Structure 1
Amino acid sequence: MPAASPPETAEAFAPAVERVREAMLLLPDVTESTSYGTPSLKIGKKLLTRVKDPMTLVIMCPREEKAALMETAPDIYFETDHYKGWPAILVRVDAISDAELIHRLKCAIRLQAPTRRAIRDDR
């Protein structure tokens, strides 16, 4: 009997990975990496976002912003029990606009950058 193939192949991750790569090109000092075996973006050694599964990104987010994001845009933002209390929010890849994705990643840079440097929103 042949071995079962993994439920999520690299091909399944392709749309989410492409969205992350496109965003990376617009952000200074951000590099592509991996986190928990999935594609990610980092600034220095700090995680900004990672592809959790083919339909979901994990984006670093101040804990105090999570509830408001999930309340105002539940079609985009959510969390599971695993992420409660952590400075990260889950994002539906197919629901977030490019502009909102870039905005959230800039917020993640502000949170994670070693020098907490300012990132202008008009870039």
Structure 2
Amino acid sequence: MFVADEDDVRRLALALPDTTEKPSWGTPGFRVHDKLFARLHDEPGILALRRPSIEDAEELAVADPVAFFRTSHYTGYPYVLARLAELEVDELAEVLREAWEVQAPRSLREQHR
């Protein structure tokens, strides 16, 4: 098992089409067409990920509370927090891709399916 780390986040996020890295709240953030889809949290080893809806974020946190969680700070927002040490690299790639798809323009998503 190869657990994910912050280097994997950067490598995988920047491999997604039209993704750029830009600071967000003082930490590295990853954007597609200047829309944030993931950012490294202030707390080491934690990644904030955009989800399709608030309900989806809550469901993911309930389904796998070891790897994913939410805090009161994200109440009302479609974000979930991920513990990188609890994710394998392929799982990280999957949730980053899902986050990217939420924010990417439809034409870009269709072009890269």
Specify if TM > 0.5.
yes
Match of 1:66 among 57, 60, 76: 57
In 1, the alpha carbon distance for the partners of 2:67 and 2:29 equals 19
Whether the 8 Å CA contact 2:14–2:30 is kept in 1: the answer is no
| % identity of equivalent residues | 36
**TM-score, normalising length from structure 1?**
0.76
In 2, the alpha carbon distance for the partners of 1:76 and 1:99 equals 14
Aligned length: 105
Partner SS state of residue 47, structure 1: strand
Which letter maps to 1:44?
Answer: H
Moved over 3 A (4+): none
Greater percentage in helix: 2
Query: Which residue pairs with 1:55 in the alignment?
Result: 45
- Higher-Rg structure is 1
Partner SS state of residue 23, structure 1: helix
1:77 and 2:91 are equivalent in the alignment: no
Query: Which residue pairs with 1:94 in the alignment?
Result: 85
**TM-score, normalising length from structure 2?**
0.82
Query: Which residue pairs with 2:9 in the alignment?
Result: 20
Structure scoring higher RCO (CA < 8 A, sep ≥ 6) equals 2
In 2, the alpha carbon distance for the partners of 1:78 and 1:40 equals 19
Gaps of 5+ in 1: 1-14
Gaps of 5+ in 2: none
**Which of 110-119 and 69-78 deviates more?**
110-119
In 1, the alpha carbon distance for the partners of 2:55 and 2:62 equals 13
Which letter maps to 1:55?
Answer: G
In 1, the alpha carbon distance for the partners of 2:105 and 2:69 equals 27
Partner SS state of residue 22, structure 1: helix
TM-superposed deviation, 1:66: 1.5
| Aligned CA-pair RMSD | 1.7
